[in-house]
Chain A
Amino acid sequence: MDVGIVSYGAYVPRYRITPEEIGKVWGENGKAMGKGLFIEQKSVPAPDEDVVTISVAAARAMMARTDVDPREIGALYVGSESHPYAVKPTSTIVAEAIEATPDLTAADMEFACKAGTAGIQVCMGLVGSGMIEYGVAIGADTSQGAPGDALEYSASAGGAAYLIGKKNIIAKINRTISYTTDTPDFWRREGQDYPSHGGRFTGEPAYFRHITNATQRLLADAGTKPGDYDYAVFHQPNGKFPTRVAAMMGFTEAQITKGLMTPYIGNTYSGAVPIGLASVLDIAKPGDRILVVSYGSGAGSDAFDITVTDRIRKYKREAAPTVEKIVSNVKYVDYATYAKFKGKIKMEE
């Protein structure tokens, strides 16, 4: 039986900061930095927002669009590299907030930026094997960038949630494959506030190698070519990498534009590909074919071949805001406010 997406929802905090504003503080040409990264602005979480609240907002949007009883959800996974607790699951809080408890399994996942899509694959397996009726996979982050580091220009906050099942699917996941190696391009040790990265090493041997290999293997398995897809969503740590990887493999700008949200919200890490896919599903029509390829440092890529079904005509997309609407609600903050919101200013205990 077909397995696919039954519902989805996204959330991005409303605050934004521009690369110019960040560059001003660190003596860099922020405008040039933004231009080089294809990032116009990045989202900033409010002081009372974290991966739990972002995941709950996305999951509630997902549930608002479907009539599925939350008690039928058999598994819930939250993928993130910024879970608020080191020990104590984000997923249990989200499950409680959408009233899916207590008859389900839940766990937090971490695989740099691809823990959300890893969750989708796990849910596909559980649903496909008949172990559960529905599974929820969420990718969300309030990602960290060390003050003054190149990452600070992109690391942002947001997430999206997917309800995976067999009944009433709005998009069938035809197949998924992964490409995984041990590549230390980006990491954060236990107890460290900010991640470290290998600079240019994060490009060719990391992002590009994994995305292209995963994509080519999926296309070979599916017997498809880039032109067969109406949309393609690639992991987007900035606007530049996905644009370049798409061109390298023969995908056009028209195919990637709708799913490329990083220029407007920054790199939402585990939320990036899930939000990009949500943006595509917001306008997708029956029969549309979508290629989705995530990337997580460390490193690996999950690729998905998706076909939108007729069911999307009856789907209550209007019950929750579209990605376009979410990202249009914006309030710009200066660097001092951003530093205060992100807890970069040490306060008296």
Chain B
Amino acid sequence: MSSTAREWREIPGRYNLKGSKCPECGKVFFPKRSMCPLCRRASIGKMIEYKVERKGTVYTYSVVYDVPEANKRMKPYVVGMIRTDDDILLTAQIVDVDPENVEIGMRVQAVLRKIDDDGPSGVIHYGFKFAPCE
């Protein structure tokens, strides 16, 4: 069982790819960070919201057969690293495409899907996955 409050805090990142950017060195963090580990004190209280581009290309991927309980009905499925158009590397499930048709360099876009839930009476968690571009 996950913490509902923790999941709730992550909604901006999970729904809309909101990360943060250090105003000092310009480095982007996703998930967001409240301070830049490089600029440290100089960045405290100054980190700005940064929305990662929703489109990108498949940098690499893997087909998952040994799956967590939440994804049992999707087995086998693809997890990939996506290089977004603003050069951020994200890890996410790749959906709406058969594993044999996923290719490195393939154009994809972020979509909102169910990630998992806290059981039949628990909270449903939604977040980004990537699907082939229309």
Which positions in A face B, CB cutoff 8 Å? Answer: 14, 46-50, 52-53, 56-57, 60, 84-85, 93, 96-97, 99, 320-321, 325, 329, 331, 340-341, 343, 347, 349
Determine the residue in chain B with the shortest Cβ distance to A14. Answer: B96
Q: How far is the CB of B115 from chain A (nearest CB, A)?
A: 8
Contacts of A340 in B (CB 8 A): 73
Which residue of the partner chain, among A14, A48, A99, A347, contacts B114 with CB atoms under 8 Å?
A48
B114 contacts A49, CB within 8 Å? yes
A48 contacts B113, CB within 8 Å? yes
Cβ-based interface call for B59 (8 A): no
Contacts of A60 in B (CB 8 A): 112
A96 contacts B15, CB within 8 Å? yes
Interface of B is mostly: mixed
Chain B residues touching A, range: 20 to 34
Determine the residue in chain B with the shortest Cβ distance to A85. Answer: B124
Query: Taking A97-B112, A321-B134, A341-B73 as contacts, is the C-beta distance between A46 and B15 under 8 angstroms?
Result: no
Which residue of the partner chain, among A46, A50, A97, A349, contacts B74 with CB atoms under 8 Å?
A46
A49 contacts B113, CB within 8 Å? yes
Which residue of the partner chain, among B11, B98, B120, B126, contacts A331 with CB atoms under 8 Å?
B98
A341–B111 alpha-carbon span in the complex (Å): 19
Determine the residue in chain A with the shortest Cβ distance to B72. Answer: A347
Contacts of A349 in B (CB 8 A): 119-120
Q: How far is the CB of B117 from chain A (nearest CB, A)?
A: 9
Q: How far is the CB of A325 from chain B (nearest CB, A)?
A: 7
Q: How far is the CB of B70 from chain A (nearest CB, A)?
A: 9
Contacts of A99 in B (CB 8 A): 16
A48 contacts B95, CB within 8 Å? yes
Contacts of B112 in A (CB 8 A): 52-53, 56-57, 60, 97
Cβ-based interface call for B129 (8 A): yes
A85–B125 alpha-carbon span in the complex (Å): 12
Contacts of B129 in A (CB 8 A): 48
Residue with the greatest number of chain A CB neighbours at <10 A, chosen from B73, B95, B96, B124:
B73
A186–B11 alpha-carbon span in the complex (Å): 37
In the assembled complex, 25 residue pairs joining A and B whose CB atoms fall closer than 8 Å, in A order, are A14-B96, A46-B95, A47-B74, A47-B114, A48-B113, A48-B114, A48-B129, A49-B113, A49-B114, A50-B114, A50-B124, A52-B112, A52-B124, A52-B126, A53-B111, A53-B112, A53-B126, A57-B111, A60-B112, A96-B11, A96-B15, A325-B134, A340-B73, A343-B73, A349-B119
